[in-house]
Amino acid sequence: MAPERRPEAGTIAGVLANVRRVPRRVRRQSRDVIETAVAQLFDAAVRHPQHTAPSGEYRIDDLARLAGTTTRNIRVYRDRGLLPPPLRVGRIALFNDTHLTRLRLITSMLDRGYNIAHVKEMLGAWEEGKNLGDVLGLETAIAGSWTTERPQTMPRAQAERLIDDRAAFERLVALGLIRLDDGQATVTRPKLIEAFNEIRGYGIGIDRLIGLYEETLPHIDAISDILVRAGAEHVVDQIKPGEPLSADTEIAELITMLVRFRTQAVASVTATLASSIESTIESMVGRLLSDYLEDAEQSRS
């Protein structure tokens, strides 16, 4: 009899198998076990997605959906030489997993601020075997990341210099944006602090910026609650409380759905917010310009 094959480490099946090995008493009494397992499951779902389209064969609409982009972008990337041509079956263009991985990488690099010419050059170097992984983090670029920001730990004195305002520093600690522990400080939202410092360069005080954060946070949490409840309702429909859990493959698909739900929710909210802010700024600038022209006209008369 052949030995039982263990699930591959780092996959959803592997994480579930490890959780089952933990004694039930420990699982029930230790929140850390569950929290660690949840983090591992989401990470595995990002790195080993369950494809809903036939594995290895996608039409352009399926490819765009799985990669989180548009069919128009795919055609542009093909025209610019970033994607190899698909397999043609009559009038149908069929893409494969190589196209999907490459497309996720292209999208990630463009999101990081590279232009198409840079992306093409770097992809060419990557294909030639040059070690771009150490420089660009290509594995993370392909797989994505469940956490949008990684906390940064540093000596407290360094964190205080980063903020350069004692009262503001204490407010950030009270808000949980900075955690203190035995002479060390952990900045939980480094990108937010970086944005604060950049905007301060235009003369807006950090107290005002922290106040804006406090003012907008409840609205952001409300949007998050609406979106997450929509995803949760779908999960509850699939996993009934008190009933046996579904097969591992179904659990994997659900977790993958939640990961993709998160990605698309962030993209949708970001695009909507950007459009709203752009419209509001245009309106404000229009009013300022009108007032300026009116004042200039009155000055001449």
Can you give the CATH number for the domain in which 115 is found?
1.10.1660.10
Which of 217, 246, 274 marks a domain boundary? Answer: 217
Asked whether residue 133 falls in the same domain as residue 162, the answer is: no
The pLDDT of residue 179 is: 93
Q: How many domains does the chain contain in total?
A: 2
3 belongs to a structural domain: no
2 belongs to a structural domain: no
The pLDDT of residue 178 is: 94
252 belongs to a structural domain: no
pTM given for the model: 0.49
179 belongs to a structural domain: yes
Taking only the tens place, the pLDDT of each residue in 63-89 is 888 888 889 999 999 998 888 888 887
Which of 217, 235, 256 marks a domain boundary? Answer: 217
What kind and span of H or E run contains 70?
none
Asked whether residue 85 falls in the same domain as residue 133, the answer is: yes
The pLDDT of residue 143 is: 40
CB-CB neighbours of 145 under 10 Å: 15
178 belongs to a structural domain: yes
Asked whether residue 187 falls in the same domain as residue 121, the answer is: no
43 belongs to a structural domain: no
228 belongs to a structural domain: no
The pLDDT of residue 35 is: 62
Closest alpha carbon to 231 in 196, 189, 266, 193? 266
| Per-residue confidence band for 244, with pLDDT thresholds at 50, 70 and 90 | low
Tell me the mean pLDDT in the region 129-158: 59
How far is residue 129 from each of residues 93, 144, 275, measured CA to CA in Å? Answer: 29, 22, 40
Q: Could you list the residue range(s) of the whole structural domain that residue 86 is in?
A: 60-140
164 belongs to a structural domain: yes
Which of 111, 140, 169 marks a domain boundary? Answer: 140
